Amino acid sequence: MTIKTISTTIFNDQKPGTSGLRKKTRTFMGPHYLENYVSATFTAIGGGAGKCFVLGGDGRFFNRPAIQTILKMAAAQGAARIIVGQGGLLSTPAASHLIRLNGADGGFILSASHNPGGIDADFGLKFNAANGGPASEALTARIHDATLAIKSYDIAEVDDINLDTVGQTRIGTMVIDVVDPVADYSDLMASLFDFDAIRALFAGGFTMRFDAMHAVTGPYAHAILEDTLGAAKGTVVNGVPSEDFGKGHPDPNPIWAKELMDLMMSEAAPDMGAASDGDGDRNMIVGKGTYITPSDSLAMLAANAHLVPAYKNGIAGIARSMPTSAAADRVAEALGIPCFETPTGWKFFGTLLDAGRVTICGEESAGTGSHHVREKDGLWAVLLWLNILAARGKSVAEIQADHWQRFGRNYYARHDYEAVESARADNMMAHLRAQLDSLPGQRFAGLNVTRADDFAYTDPVDGATSAAQGIRLFFEGGARAVFRLSGTGTEGATVRLYLEQFVKQSDYAAPVEQVLEAVRAAALEISDLPNLTGRSRPDVET
Residues in contact with ligand G16 by CB under 6 A are: 18-19, 113-114, 281-282, 321, 344-346, 363, 365, 367, 486-488, 496
What's the gap between Cα 435 and its chain centre?
32
Our CB check for ligand G16 shows the closer of 183 and 464 to be 464
| CB of 274 closer than 8 Å to CB of 285 | yes
CB neighbour list of residue 375: distance below 8 Å, 6 or more residues apart: 92, 93, 95, 96, 128, 132, 133, 134, 281, 346, 369
End-to-end CA distance of the chain: 52
**Minimum CB separation from ligand G16 for residue 498, in Å?**
10
DSSP string across 199-257: HHHHHTT--EEEE-TTSTHHHHHIIIIIIIT-PPTTSEES-S--TTGGGS----STTTT
Our CB check for ligand G16 shows the closer of 201 and 471 to be 471
| Rounded Cα gap, residues 187 and 521, in angstroms | 49
Our CB check for ligand G16 shows the closer of 295 and 344 to be 344
**Minimum CB separation from ligand G16 for residue 161, in Å?**
27
Q: Is the dihedral of CA 235, 299, 501, 276 positive or negative?
A: negative
Nearest to 285 by CA among 164, 388, 430, 133: 388
**Minimum CB separation from ligand G16 for residue 492, in Å?**
13
Our CB check for ligand G16 shows the closer of 270 and 343 to be 343
Let me know if 422 is a catalytic residue: no
| CB of 63 closer than 8 Å to CB of 243 | yes
Our CB check for ligand G16 shows the closer of 48 and 470 to be 470
CB neighbour list of residue 18: distance below 8 Å, 6 or more residues apart: 344, 345, 486, 487, 488
Our CB check for ligand G16 shows the closer of 414 and 535 to be 414
What's the gap between Cα 264 and its chain centre?
23
**Minimum CB separation from ligand G16 for residue 494, in Å?**
7
**Minimum CB separation from ligand G16 for residue 349, in Å?**
8
| Rounded Cα gap, residues 2 and 5, in angstroms | 10
Q: Single out the catalytic residue among 113, 136, 276, 297.
A: 113
**Minimum CB separation from ligand G16 for residue 527, in Å?**
17
Q: Which residues are catalytic?
A: 113
